[in-house]
A and B are shown apart, each in its own frame.
Chain A
Amino acid sequence: MEILKIENARKNFGGVKAVDGLSFSVQEGEILGIIGPNGAGKSTVFNLLCGLIPVDAGRIVFLGEDITLLAPHKRCHMGIGRTFQICQPFKELTVLGNVAVAAVFGHSKPVHPGKVKKYSEEVLAKVNLSSKKDLYPAQLTTPDLKLLEIARALATRPRLLLLDEMMAGLLPGECDKILDLIKGINREGITVILVEHVMRVVRELCQRVIVMNYGQKLCEGCYEDVTGDERVIEAYLGQEETVAQ
């Protein structure tokens, strides 16, 4: 079943065509990767999908409903969750409080007020942050902040999860943990779109990859196909050794 469809989306920032007539669709249960050089419009696509910035033209359909004009919190209630490339925890709240925000507000059927704490603790346990639930974000390390981003998004009970460069700034070992976490999330039936620069992660996770360049779709296909594509090598990957590793 098709969970998300974006049709001919456009977004200009002044004279820059950040997203230029992009169309793609996502099947329920899959993990889709979006790769491309810096400035290709990947993060803008996420912002369009979660509603933080409106499209200039085009349509976005989620679960069969046109959500093009829907406010971000309503899209969240429908089941679109996301993380941010630069971690943006609520600094006045503890780790548990951060997750509680998502638990209380993140779904059209809210968690019962008496169960918010227990529910949030369960979500934190899922991402292995239980021991740090009473700390403030300023006391967390980068990998933990990334986990908090995921925990918050999960607490909204999403059907579609948008992960924006989760691996940036992480060591390979830390990457592996998050990689397993994403696999687990997907196994629970949550569809995932991820923007990623670490190709190993894309290769291991994504059934399908979209390559973007200058706001447009350069090509689409399985990992081997797109990374073998000459246009992709020229625009993004550069030398062949990078592909081979």
Chain B
Amino acid sequence: MKKYSLKYILVAAAAILAVIFPFITGEYYRHLAILTLMYAVLALSWDFAARAELVSFAHTGFFGLGAYTSAVTFLKLDFPLYLSFTVAVLLTIVVAIALGYLTLRLSGIYFAIASLAFSEVLLVVALQLPKVTGGAMGISVPSLFGGMRVYCYGLILGILALAVVVSLYLERSHFHLAFSAMRTSPSVASVLGVNTVRYRLSSFTLSAIFSCLAGAFYVHYTTTTIPYEAFNLNIGVASMVMAVLGGLYSTVGPVLGAIVLKIIEEYMRVTIPYGYMIIYGLLLVAGILFLPKGLVGVQNKWKFLK
């Protein structure tokens, strides 16, 4: 009982801090917080797919798809913001289900390669359709909420809150049983009645939706993007690293991973003028080696020692 109340206090404190953060800090920290929350959404979305044993690089693709669909519909079709987001999500759902069906037979590293190819294909498409996407020159949109960072913060916090709610539902419902079973053996799960196709597709699609939302937010927030940035594989890799380092198959893990890594990265970028990425990389290696279950696992380790 005591343990639970501590947990709730921590969660409540984090939630309150998240809400008041933009009001007690300056523009720089607001900007940093916005990007951190965006990566938290990405890391959590990457984890959704991981829960069904899908190691995906398609998230880069969905991020870029969200960014470009939203930007293009907003600019060329004069859609209001919410409608351009909606169209981006709908398109992502269609694409994710189609890609999911095409790759149903693939697992492990083969699925990873197929998802990587998907992201690269979308990059090429974005480059080769200059009339729609602006090609290599990129695309620019007016700044989100007239550049009011507090509102931008509110929007991305809202998206993250939605992702957290979805994640908690997945963790506490029959999805959790299906995913855990499928991670051990999809065929045994199917013999026991689990519709593995449905659960695989739904985890992949949910995951794609949140990557798409992060992308759509990103382009409006930064006001401009180019294909090499929106479809940059680093986005997918970073979300994977944050999820793995924070702790897979959990809600707290990916969010915590995103926050911790983003803070470390930014701190190093500012304090170490040259080659900060090398130290950052070494830290990641150490993290994977010593915290195989991620930051969330640390807490369990202590429990075990006691």
Contacts and interface: CB of A to CB of B under 8 A. Distances in A.
Interface of A: 50-52, 71-73, 76-77, 82, 84, 88-93, 97, 100-102, 104-107, 113, 152-153, 156
Contact of A92 (B183, B194, B196): B183
B180 interface: yes
Interface string B172-187: 0010011011011101
Nearest to B187: A52
Contacts of A113: 174
A107 B190 CA distance: 12
B183 A105 contact: no
A156 B192 contact: yes
B188 interface: yes
Given A97-B177, A101-B177, A105-B178, A156 B184 contact: no
B193 A107 contact: yes
Nearest to B194: A105
B184 A90 contact: yes
B180 A152 contact: no
A72 B188 CA distance: 9
Q: Which of A50, A100, A102 has the most CB of B within 10 A?
A: A102
A101 B194 contact: yes
A105 B174 contact: yes
Contacts of B174: 104-105, 113
Contacts of B196: 73
A172 B21 CA distance: 68
Contacts of B189: 90, 101, 105
Contact of B177 (A72, A76, A91, A104): A104
29 contacts: A50-B191, A51-B190, A51-B191, A52-B187, A52-B190, A52-B191, A71-B190, A71-B195, A73-B192, A73-B195, A73-B196, A76-B190, A76-B191, A88-B188, A90-B180, A90-B181, A92-B180, A92-B184, A97-B177, A101-B177, A101-B192, A101-B194, A102-B193, A105-B178, A105-B189, A105-B192, A105-B193, A106-B193, A156-B193
B192 A152 contact: yes
Contact of B188 (A71, A90, A92, A100): A90
A88 B185 contact: yes
Contacts of A77: 193
Nearest to B173: A113
A152 B193 CA distance: 11
Contacts of B177: 93, 97, 100-101, 104-105
Interface in B255-291: none
Nearest to B249: A92
B192 A106 contact: yes
Contacts of B187: 52, 72
Contact of A72 (B178, B180, B190): B190
A148 B115 CA distance: 37
Nearest to B182: A90
B184 A102 contact: no
B180 A97 contact: yes
Contacts of B194: 73, 101, 105
Nearest to B177: A101
Interface in B80-108: none
A71 B189 CA distance: 12
A76 B190 CA distance: 8
Contacts of B180: 90, 92-93, 97, 101
A72 B187 CA distance: 8
A73 B185 contact: no
B193 A90 contact: no
A190 B267 CA distance: 65
B302 to A, nearest CB: 20
A71 B193 CA distance: 10
Contacts of A91: 184
Contacts of A72: 187, 190-191
B281 to A, nearest CB: 30
Contacts of B178: 101, 105
Contacts of B188: 84, 88, 90
Q: Which of A92, A97, A113, A152 has the most CB of B within 10 A?
A: A92
Given A93-B180, A97-B180, 15 more contacts: A50-B191, A51-B190, A52-B191, A73-B192, A73-B195, A76-B193, A77-B193, A88-B188, A90-B184, A100-B177, A101-B177, A101-B189, A104-B174, A105-B194, A105-B195
Nearest to B184: A90
A91 to B, nearest CB: 5
A89 B185 CA distance: 9
Nearest to B185: A88
A113 B187 CA distance: 24
List the 9 closest pairs (A to B, CB-CB), nearest first.
A106-B193, A105-B193, A76-B193, A72-B190, A90-B184, A92-B180, A102-B192, A105-B194, A88-B188
Contacts of A52: 187, 190-191
A242 to B, nearest CB: 33
A90 B197 CA distance: 18
Nearest to B192: A102
Contacts of A76: 190-193
